[in-house]
Amino acid sequence: MDACCPVCPSAARRSSFDPRAVRRDFPVLQQTVRGRPLTYLDNAATTQKPSEVIQAVCQYYGTCNANVHRAFHFLAEEATRRYEEVRKSAAAWIGAGSPREIVFTRGTTEGVNLVAHAWARKFLKPGDAILLTEMEHHSNLIPWQLAAKAAGASLRFVPVLPDGTLDLDAFAAHLAAGGVRLAAVTQMSNVLGTVNPVRDLAAAAHKAGALVLVDGAQSVAHMPVSVRDLGCDFLAFSGHKMCGPTGIGVLYARADLLETMDPFLGGGEMIDRVGLEESTWAEIPHKFEAGTPNVSSAIGLGAAFDYLNRLGRDTLAAYERDLTRHAVAALRALPGVRVYGDAPERGGAVSFAVDGVHPHDLAQFLDGDGIAIRAGHLCCQPLMRRLGVPAVNRASLAFYNLEEEVARLADAVVRARAYFGHGP
């Protein structure tokens, strides 16, 4: 074999990846639903949890349950140590420069709201603008509506093109018009699967004097993400979408920005000195973590980082890309089925519609076969209006899904069309 052998190490790892073996790590996937094997295709809403994540949470409660950053006894010191180790893991996961740039939150929604309150409401002024896109999840839209109204600022929007990509000329035009202080954009659409060119968008925004916030709820779980590579100023993501527990998330923010921002919540542990009339704040990131944090879920998130790192992030991403291409092709081959989004780079959120069958009816029909998908506006009502529909169905994939599950989905869609009188 010569030095130019086409079988590279990454390809070799991907070929050795066994999703069937991985599925055994997930207790939920071993059960049947209504007498049929569970086909879980709602991973964009939340992923399932491997046994070691579940065990990590239980172990915390069974061996070192205590509040963090408060007492000097063994349990508190051990809980604090584990909690802060996860902060280091989170920084490494997204390539942050320091754990000081990692704020624990309840999830992506709280992370975006933290920036909207602690940065936008302090620094936005009348006449400023926030630049968003038409594909944003409500969690990256409503906080900016509230912040803009409070500051007397305006909102500008980048249209979505027919293929599901952003109108990059419109993005540039909004920046050229001046006044944009912040651009907030999803890296991966939870409806279209579109992976946006965040690195290029951030470079253009910075050149125009704007900061950049990235909604990483979908991307961080399914592809390697580095905040230094993207060049973003803020990035928020959720633990439960990447095999971790619910109720825990991460906000990355540049340290210099965190230093200038006001606290989001007031209370215990986010303070330095407290007087009756005024107080001073703790060092970052603790300034933004008032009250008792979700210690158990943070430790569970740390176990999820370890689990996914052990499987190999590049390997998982490559498998999911292949499976997504297979799923899109399988659905597009069906009569009367429309798949939304045709971006050249896309993730595993595959939204579709079936002629003559309401999305809610289809989801309920599939549930009878043990197939779990999402139906509705997917928390993206403006995007639904752009697509010209009130709702869609969405099958969203993870590394533990199988080609046979895609085939099961396609077969069930065909039978659903026939059941509702729109097929043979």
Whether 186 is covered by a domain: the verdict is: yes
Q: Give the model confidence (pLDDT) of 378-394 as tens digits.
A: 999 999 999 999 999 99
Q: Which of 309, 337, 365 is the last residue of a domain?
A: 309
Q: Which of 309, 265, 315 is nearest to 291 (CA)?
A: 265
Same domain, 140 and 178: yes
- The CATH number of the domain holding residue 226 is 3.40.640.10
Whether 47 is covered by a domain: the verdict is: no
Q: Which of 292, 309, 326 is the last residue of a domain?
A: 309
Residue for token pair 């729109």:
422
The answer to whether residue 107 scores a pLDDT higher than 90 is yes
Among the residues of 97-141, which ranges form H helices?
A: 108-115, 121-123
Predicted local distance difference test score (pLDDT) of residue 15: 54
Summarize the confidence of residues 172-187 as an average pLDDT. Answer: 98
Strand ranges, E, within 279-390: 279-281, 337-339, 349-354, 371-372, 374-376
Q: Give the model confidence (pLDDT) of 229-285 as tens digits.
A: 999 999 999 999 999 999 999 999 999 999 999 999 999 989 989 999 999 999 999
Whether 87 is covered by a domain: the verdict is: yes
The answer to whether residue 26 scores a pLDDT higher than 50 is yes
Q: Which of 349, 360, 363, 353 is nearest to 412 (CA)?
A: 363
The answer to whether residue 102 scores a pLDDT higher than 80 is yes
Q: Which residues contact 220 (CB under 8 A, 6 or more apart)?
A: 93, 94, 187, 235, 237, 241, 242
Same domain, 303 and 318: no
Residue for token pair 């991307």:
219
Summarize the confidence of residues 160-188 as an average pLDDT. Answer: 98
User: How many structural domains are present in the chain?
Assistant: 2
Summarize the confidence of residues 180-193 as an average pLDDT. Answer: 98
Q: Give dist(CA 198, CA 339) in Å, integer.
A: 24
Q: Which of 405, 130, 104 is nearest to 264 (CA)?
A: 104
Q: Which of 255, 283, 309 is the last residue of a domain?
A: 309
Q: Give dist(CA 423, CA 304) in Å, integer.
A: 43
Specify which residues 392 forms β-bridges with.
376
Task: Indicate the helix (H) or strand (E) that contains 365.
Answer: helix 359-367
Query: String of b and e for 18-32 (b: at least 16 CB within 10 Å)?
Result: ebeebbebbeebeee
Summarize the confidence of residues 323-342 as an average pLDDT. Answer: 97
The answer to whether residue 6 scores a pLDDT higher than 80 is no
Whether 24 is covered by a domain: the verdict is: yes
Q: Give the model confidence (pLDDT) of 136-166 as tens digits.
A: 999 999 999 999 999 999 999 999 999 999 9
Q: Which residues contact 268 (CB under 8 A, 6 or more apart)?
A: 290, 291, 292
Predicted local distance difference test score (pLDDT) of residue 71: 84
pLDDT class of 422 with cuts at 50, 70, 90: confident
Specify which residues 349 forms β-bridges with.
396
| Residue 31 structural domain | 9-37+312-419
Kindly report the average pLDDT of the chain as a whole number.
94
Strand ranges, E, within 141-253: 154-158, 180-186, 211-215, 234-238, 249-253
**69-83, 168-182, 259-273: which is most confident:** 168-182
Please state the pTM of the whole predicted model: 0.94
The answer to whether residue 74 scores a pLDDT higher than 80 is yes
Torsion angle of C-alpha atoms 285, 288, 291, 293, degrees rounded to 10? -60
Same domain, 229 and 114: yes
Any catalytic annotation for residue 58?
no
Helix (H, G, I), strand (E, B) or coil at 385: helix
Task: Indicate the helix (H) or strand (E) that contains 130.
Answer: strand 129-133
Tokens encoding 284: 């970052």
- The CATH number of the domain holding residue 19 is 3.90.1150.10
pLDDT class of 396 with cuts at 50, 70, 90: very high
Same domain, 227 and 282: yes
Any idea which of 29-38, 182-191, 212-221, 398-407 has the lowest mean pLDDT? Answer: 29-38
Q: Are 242 and 304 in contact (CB under 8 A)?
A: yes
Same domain, 62 and 79: yes
Predicted local distance difference test score (pLDDT) of residue 34: 85
Cα torsion 137, 320, 160, 130: sign: positive
The answer to whether residue 113 scores a pLDDT higher than 70 is yes
Same domain, 237 and 149: yes
Predicted local distance difference test score (pLDDT) of residue 169: 98
The answer to whether residue 46 scores a pLDDT higher than 60 is yes
Predicted local distance difference test score (pLDDT) of residue 348: 97
Summarize the confidence of residues 289-317 as an average pLDDT. Answer: 97
Summarize the confidence of residues 281-304 as an average pLDDT. Answer: 96
Q: Give the number of residues written for the chain.
A: 424
Any idea which of 12-16, 128-132, 386-390, 393-397 has the lowest mean pLDDT? Answer: 12-16
pLDDT class of 9 with cuts at 50, 70, 90: very low
The residue annotated as part of the active site, out of 64, 232, 243, 379, is: 379
Task: Please state whether beta strands 349-354 and 392-396 pair in parallel, antiparallel, or not at all (unpaired).
Answer: antiparallel
